[in-house]
Structure 1
């Protein structure tokens, strides 16, 4: 079996957004450690960023490659200088960005066809719908990568099937259908991908959803012990083709972690409120501020207001991106979905006292000890039988063995 594993070649296609491509590159490293040759196809900006890391991996004998593909910023319109989601300057450019992603199919297929050895599967971000067409063209499995959770995927699947949210008001509470637990939301709290009503967004969502339904399976950056019932139920939805292999990134422990990812943005007023709330919590924290128009302003405030000095030794402010993997998340009570990118006309502010209070909850005040133990089980070293990384290690092996069967079946099929 070891020799068969080394013959496997996976091609990974991440979305050009830090919260998507960094976990996928981490996953690529894990796959290679299991004896799989891995090629990550992405734009030159991301390739140049990770070249030193990948070169060190190659020098150590790992079969891990980064292959650049030109991002059609100009052809997509108004995207000059924007080659990743976190560099977009307006929420209105997001649909242009995905239009540019859609234009990558033909150049990708030209690169893919020339790869040696020929790839046995494509693992692509769930938002890159055209990879389903490519998989059919080359008669290989197309697997979705999702960086969130089985809970999120199951909720999205059930809402897409039931369409229950279509016929209710923005503020009317409703129970999410067909879940192991009772979870109530309002329509205003749903992801914008469910609420944006433009024809362009609807067409995009339909294509993404169709590709998800037709995919061979799903790889998830989660682990079995974190959400066992949701993993089990989503596995039933996908016909057992669900592999929880996370967390793929290392993470800080025993800190309050504040981050909105690489797409969502806040005004300077909102950012200052978060900072003061973290300071008032009196707990150690990591605060991640995305690059963009507000980054320089908040960096100036951090220094001039004395925030940096007052939180010295207790707080770490990171500009850019950091992996979102701490063990427990707590709601701060926001009742509507926030804006993408950054907009000054924010709809709802969170009070400093609320941030201070949830900081205490995240650090264990009032959190069930059993839940904290689940978090501790994420700290394995990737070896079989070691906590959640034991289950993730097993799922990685099961994924590879499943694709070995697919390769063997394809090789044994008579050709006429």
Structure 2
């Protein structure tokens, strides 16, 4: 660990699992570079300070009621968080900035916190942005208005298979979408995010050059600001788990008993949910595959029911012999385990990057938002996985699992996955692209005395 440099960073994550984890990982990376860390957080999904004793934690009242946080409309919830947190965030930021002993060198916020732009300007605090998704999906989100103007959005059933000429190899069905009763709120959320990026002192991305070089190159042309791809975060951070759910460690001892590359690990993240009929097809597909499986079935992962009550009897018989179900798993440890040969995933960016980093081929079942873009690139660009197109059906599920675990073509996919894993490893070594970008980020933060709020800076 580097010697303390007496510079303090304040980080503010969006209170969802897929956003908290990378922000805490980034905090650990920067702490290892000598920075002192203060984490601001909402009451909703507050992180556990005991898991990160070397960080200071400060709460921001969000004023959200139980009925508001339990909504399935994520766009509406995010709009509420932005509205309710603005005033208490400004009060807390000014309080932190007024400390004579440890002034704030830089504020790093999640890109979805659009309100922080004006607050930071009023407080005279330098603001950088963390985008927790990939560079490719960021470019798609940035062009939502153009996609609407050209008729791709809103998505029409008759055009699902049409190519999106501006973003090959995406098809219309791959464009990011979030079910919401307030589509104008989604447009505003994305508009605020992009404007917040443009006006920031720099953008930090959890990706690496060899994975998304074309998208990164275009972002640097389109946004004349400093852009720092320093990922994969989790491979250069020793941070404790930021999981909001208790991890079942018994799955590791179960994996220890399985043959190498024999298990399909199934997890659809912390938010995505499936219908009862889809849940049944997943279970029957796992049973028909005849392969060992580790399946994460968290509370709320099946719409309107307690999941285990709905499992078919034939599936329960198969479970006794070769499967294990847990409510949550230590995913990074699972993906690094020698027994895991495939990952059936919703293709959230964290999960996708963690799978790439361990060389584990993927079965792609995207649900919403950037997951659809990520899945298409996994299957068609990086070619390290199979895409479950056009719904869930037990026969297709079983075929996909067997293709990646037992059939001959698995070797080609595994070889490409191993090559991508090596690129993910090498970018973090001394002289690698993410290593150099992290050096550039640390120097950029330390050069605060030359910063003028609102000025554009070229990429490092």
What TM-score do the two structures reach when normalised by structure 2?
A: 0.69
Following TM superposition, by how much is the alpha carbon of 1:189 offset from its aligned partner in structure 2, in angstroms? 3.9
Asked if the contact 2:137/2:370 (under 8 Å) is kept, the reply is no
Following TM superposition, by how much is the alpha carbon of 1:167 offset from its aligned partner in structure 2, in angstroms? 5.8
**1:22-101 superposed matches below 5 A:** 22-44=21-43, 46-47=45-46, 49-55=47-53, 58=54, 64-74=55-65, 78-79=67-68, 82=69, 88-91=70-73, 94-101=75-82
Deviates more, 1:296-305 or 1:33-42: 296-305
Deviates more, 1:147-156 or 1:236-245: 236-245
Equivalent position of 2:398 in the other structure = 356
Residue 123 to residue 135, structure 1, CA distance change in 2 (3 Å)? same
Residue 223 to residue 30, structure 1, CA distance change in 2 (3 Å)? same
Equivalent position of 2:285 in the other structure = 277
Equivalent position of 1:375 in the other structure = 421
**SS at the partner of 1:166?**
coil
**SS at the partner of 1:148?**
coil
Unmatched tracts of structure 1, length 5 or more? 59-63, 83-87, 339-347, 412-416
Distance 1:247 1:314 in 2: 30
Equivalent position of 2:227 in the other structure = 242
Asked if the contact 2:296/2:326 (under 8 Å) is kept, the reply is yes
Following TM superposition, by how much is the alpha carbon of 1:242 offset from its aligned partner in structure 2, in angstroms? 1.8
Distance 2:320 2:428 in 1: 34
Following TM superposition, by how much is the alpha carbon of 1:101 offset from its aligned partner in structure 2, in angstroms? 3.2
**1:311-390 superposed matches below 5 A:** 315=324, 317-319=326-328, 322=331, 324=351, 325-327=354-356, 328-331=361-364, 349-360=391-402, 364-367=410-413, 369-379=415-425, 383-385=429-431, 390=432
Following TM superposition, by how much is the alpha carbon of 1:54 offset from its aligned partner in structure 2, in angstroms? 0.9
Distance 2:366 2:133 in 1: 20
RMSD: 3.9
Following TM superposition, by how much is the alpha carbon of 1:29 offset from its aligned partner in structure 2, in angstroms? 0.9
**SS at the partner of 1:204?**
helix
What TM-score do the two structures reach when normalised by structure 1?
A: 0.75
Asked if the contact 2:299/2:306 (under 8 Å) is kept, the reply is no
Distance 1:334 1:293 in 2: 12
Equivalent position of 1:135 in the other structure = 120
Equivalent position of 2:456 in the other structure = none
Residue 14 to residue 178, structure 1, CA distance change in 2 (3 Å)? same
Unmatched tracts of structure 2, length 5 or more? 236-240, 242-251, 253-259, 332-349, 372-389, 453-460
**SS at the partner of 1:192?**
coil
Distance 1:150 1:70 in 2: 31
Asked if the contact 1:12/1:122 (under 8 Å) is kept, the reply is yes
Asked if the contact 2:10/2:107 (under 8 Å) is kept, the reply is yes
Distance 1:103 1:336 in 2: 23
Asked if the contact 1:267/1:294 (under 8 Å) is kept, the reply is yes
Equivalent position of 1:9 in the other structure = 8
The superposition leaves residues 175-226 of structure 1 with CA deviations (integer Å, 9 ceiling, x where unpaired) of 43545xx31312x442225997644443333333332333333211212222
Aligned pairs, how many? 375
**SS at the partner of 1:276?**
helix
Distance 1:202 1:104 in 2: 20
Residue 394 to residue 290, structure 1, CA distance change in 2 (3 Å)? farther
Distance 1:152 1:161 in 2: 15
Equivalent position of 1:108 in the other structure = 89
Asked if the contact 2:134/2:206 (under 8 Å) is kept, the reply is yes
Residue 292 to residue 94, structure 1, CA distance change in 2 (3 Å)? farther
**SS at the partner of 2:234?**
coil
Given the alignment of the two structures, is residue 206 of structure 1 paired with residue 194 of structure 2, yes or no? no
Given the alignment of the two structures, is residue 221 of structure 1 paired with residue 206 of structure 2, yes or no? yes
Asked if the contact 2:9/2:104 (under 8 Å) is kept, the reply is yes
